[in-house]
Structure 1
Amino acid sequence: MRTAIVVGAGIGGVTAAVALQRCGWEVTVLERAAELGEVGAGISLWPAAAAVLSELGVKGVDQAAVPSGPFGLRKPNGRWVVAAPDLGLDLPVMIHRAQLHDLITAEFGPAVTVRTGYTVETVTQDDTGVLVNGSLRADLLIAADGLRSVVRTALYPQYAGPQYSGSTAYRGITETKANDGGETWGSAERFGIAQLIDGRTYWYATHNQPAGQSGDLAEVIRKYGNWHDPIPALLATTQTVLQNDIYDLALPLVPFAAGRIALLGDAAHAMTPNLGRGACTAIEDAGALARHLTSTPDPVTALTQYDAARRPAATQLVKRSRQIGRLGQLENPLAIGVRDALMWLGGTAVRGAAALTKSRRAPKPTPSNR
């Protein structure tokens, strides 16, 4: 049986393990943490990623969590800039990272071995395989070890790597249900609300500041506690807050394949969370990787095909996410006014076009016989 090592047991890594297992590989997952699991808050699960998980047999992600009330973009005083339906936007399934991780790892079979508390220090390869830490050997290695990937650094030591976006993110979960959702954009600050499939509410906030500054729930309440409902209630019933500075990877991205080693997820294309596509792109990577390894007998050729298929699409997502983040974090009042006006006009134009299309498709009345 062909063997593979997956470095990193986050969402992308465990999905890759399940995908490789299903196409006949024996997989060893190496995780630096002492226990297998995920930390964090909510993530968006878009249709393409949900389709990959469905193909892999992952159950429990097909239940859509759509707010029963309005969903779109607002100002801090609650005034709507544009509603999501006006832009023709589909809504993703929202799920807690830990719940999604559990659903994926539930599909681990006897072909998957997990080693926790394992730190990867060296990676080498030759014509026949890959060697980790001088002792662990496999036919293939998948690096899913995140933003500051050890494997990526070993492959491409001159690459610039992570770059700070200029803003930090706060994230929390509350039992308080929010019937509406979407984002609120202020000056250098944003606040987002989403309903999870388990009934809880996930919220997140971003704020422009230098990297490395810490924050807590009291800081979040001070910044956003006077914004429109239901934000104050959500914050008042939140117990803990996670804070992380926002980074992405410098462009151009490095190749996702080098011989028998492939980069996947944040190790390959870490992006800002402004599109909510990071974890989904990692899941799609895993699906594409398995397809190429199945259709192409030579693993080196298959990884080259994987890179050709995935890197251009991921590059566009990194760019778009970065651009949206810059719009959302504007500080200049004039620029903010122009931004909001353009968003409103865009929603109006889409709404008008939809109405016109609907009227053209409406059946014409049949003339009555006289």
Structure 2
Amino acid sequence: MRVLVAGAGVGGLTTAVALRARGFDVEVLEAAPRPRTEGGGLGLAANATKVLAALGLDLVEAGVGRVCTSFCLRTTDGRLMRDLPIESIAEELGSPVVNVRRGDLLALLRDSLADTPVRYGTGVTGHRVTGAGVSVTLADGGTRTADVLVGADGIRSAVRARLVGDQPVREYGYVCWIATAAFEHPRLPAGGAAHYWGSGQRFGLIDIGGGHVYWWGTKNVPLPQARRWTGGKHGVQAAFASWAEEVRQVVAATPEADILSVPAQDRPFLATWGTGPVTLVGDAAHPMLTSLSQGAGSAVEDAHALAHHLAAGGEPAAALRRYEADRRDRTRGLVTASRRLSRIEQMSNPLATRLRDLVIQHVPMRALRNQNIAPMRYDLPA
């Protein structure tokens, strides 16, 4: 069976890896002119590292990223609100939480594809279902044919638009800044991750190994500013000027060109991800806010499940519908939970934020642990 994968991000490349492992003939088509190297970092929870290990990609053995051994929530000035038992969670689930530079993960996925072609500068612009499968139109005017087309081309997926129309994204009124930098600080131990919660603002500082960190910041802003941030690095520094020393220092240590800004967006959840020999994975199917850190992880799960159902046999279209049915409830829950947590995190009312922080400090550890472990529970398809 020949499969075309549109998109060479985490979801697309993992899909290609999973399909290749099952013996499928795969080709990846990516609109960008070259492999992506920017994009900050990723927190891969135990569900994602479990799936990657099942595909033969053990991040720890490969030396990619850093295993997360501590995770805490802090106030804007750095005072500890709560330590979360990340190590015992990973032990219970049987797989580590790994924080990694996005570019390093993509390079590992590409390397594992060996001779499977990944063609850059070859974006998919359209497709039509034929009696023999699917015919794909490329940006350069060329075409490809295959038995199956998988849209893994992100939140603005051309494959999704062809299936359901070019629907508007859902916006949430805050901007996200993301970057990686060479940085060390006594308050961030090896393998450490810290989230700082303020009023309408947050910051994350995460060790990714090799003397480098991944950091991100958010701030409630009008929608035009969220869509296109023009404040530069100076604006980011101004947003966190009174925050903890390590927050101010890591932003100062980051070259302005390395700071990316993206708006907080997702889409209404789709009841149907595909038709005939066409389906979607990752952000093309179910884009979600970053609050649960499950965007990449859910795409990795999609990839493994898709390969599993296609390999089970039968007509490709029937296998794709089984895959979609398998993934729908799980991903809908993650999208909904991410929205719910985002509303709590981005609160700007002083009384509401004070109450939120008190709850974090005093909620029973069992409840806090259960809330954090729930999104990471995932069983591989039998």
Partner of 1:221: 237
Question: How many angstroms apart in 2 are the aligned matches of 1:74 and 1:346?
Answer: 15
Partner of 1:122: 126
Note the C-alpha offset of 1:306. 0.5
Report Cα offsets for 1:177-232 as digits up to 9, x if no partner: 23253211111000111110333111100001123321322111111132123212
Question: How many angstroms apart in 1 are the aligned matches of 2:314 and 2:102?
Answer: 34
- 2:268 partner letter: A
Identity of aligned residues (%): 34
> Which stretch shows the higher mean deviation, 214-223 or 341-350?
341-350
Partner of 1:363: none
Report Cα offsets for 1:235-272 as digits up to 9, x if no partner: 22111311111111113x24223110010010001101
- CA 208–301 in structure 1, closer or farther in 2 if over 3 Å, else same: same
Note the C-alpha offset of 1:49. 1.4
- CA 80–276 in structure 1, closer or farther in 2 if over 3 Å, else same: same
Question: How many angstroms apart in 2 are the aligned matches of 1:132 and 1:86?
Answer: 44
Question: How many angstroms apart in 1 are the aligned matches of 2:284 and 2:22?
Answer: 23
Question: How many angstroms apart in 2 are the aligned matches of 1:245 and 1:207?
Answer: 10
Question: How many angstroms apart in 1 are the aligned matches of 2:2 and 2:367?
Answer: 51
Match of 2:339 among 315, 322, 326: 322
- CA 352–11 in structure 1, closer or farther in 2 if over 3 Å, else same: closer
Partner of 1:364: none
Partner of 2:51: 52
Question: Structure 1 runs of 4+ off > 4 angstroms?
Answer: 61-64, 86-91, 347-353
The answer on whether the counterparts of 2:163 and 2:274 sit within 8 Å (CA) in structure 1 is: no
Tell me, yes or no, if structure 1 residue 21 matches structure 2 residue 20. yes
Partner of 1:97: 102
Q: Describe how 1:1-370 pairs up with structure 2 within 5 A.
A: 2-62=1-61, 65-66=66-67, 71-85=71-85, 90=90, 92-110=97-115, 112-133=116-137, 135-157=143-165, 160-177=167-184, 178-179=188-189, 180-213=192-225, 214=229, 215-239=231-255, 240-251=258-269, 253-347=270-364
Partner of 1:313: helix, strand, or coil?
helix
Question: How many angstroms apart in 2 are the aligned matches of 1:83 and 1:206?
Answer: 21
Question: How many angstroms apart in 1 are the aligned matches of 2:41 and 2:86?
Answer: 25
Question: How many angstroms apart in 2 are the aligned matches of 1:351 and 1:32?
Answer: 42
Q: Specify every segment of 5 or more residues in structure 1 that has no aligned partner in the other structure, as ranges.
A: 354-370
Q: Specify every segment of 5 or more residues in structure 2 that has no aligned partner in the other structure, as ranges.
A: 91-95, 371-382
Aligned length: 348
The answer on whether the counterparts of 2:161 and 2:167 sit within 8 Å (CA) in structure 1 is: no
The answer on whether the counterparts of 2:60 and 2:66 sit within 8 Å (CA) in structure 1 is: no
Note the C-alpha offset of 1:162. 1.8
Question: How many angstroms apart in 1 are the aligned matches of 2:79 and 2:282?
Answer: 37
Report Cα offsets for 1:33-75 as digits up to 9, x if no partner: 111334200101112211222222225445673567x631111
Question: How many angstroms apart in 1 are the aligned matches of 2:164 and 2:291?
Answer: 27
- CA 11–234 in structure 1, closer or farther in 2 if over 3 Å, else same: same
Note the C-alpha offset of 1:316. 0.6
- 2:175 partner letter: T
- CA 39–228 in structure 1, closer or farther in 2 if over 3 Å, else same: same
The answer on whether the counterparts of 1:8 and 1:29 sit within 8 Å (CA) in structure 2 is: yes
Partner of 1:360: none
- CA 227–14 in structure 1, closer or farther in 2 if over 3 Å, else same: same
- CA 291–335 in structure 1, closer or farther in 2 if over 3 Å, else same: same
Query: Aligned Cα RMSD in Å?
Result: 2.3
Partner of 2:359: helix, strand, or coil?
helix
Question: How many angstroms apart in 1 are the aligned matches of 2:236 and 2:12?
Answer: 32
Report Cα offsets for 1:315-367 as digits up to 9, x if no partner: 110111111111011011111122112222214565999xxxxxxxxxxxxxx
The answer on whether the counterparts of 2:181 and 2:212 sit within 8 Å (CA) in structure 1 is: yes
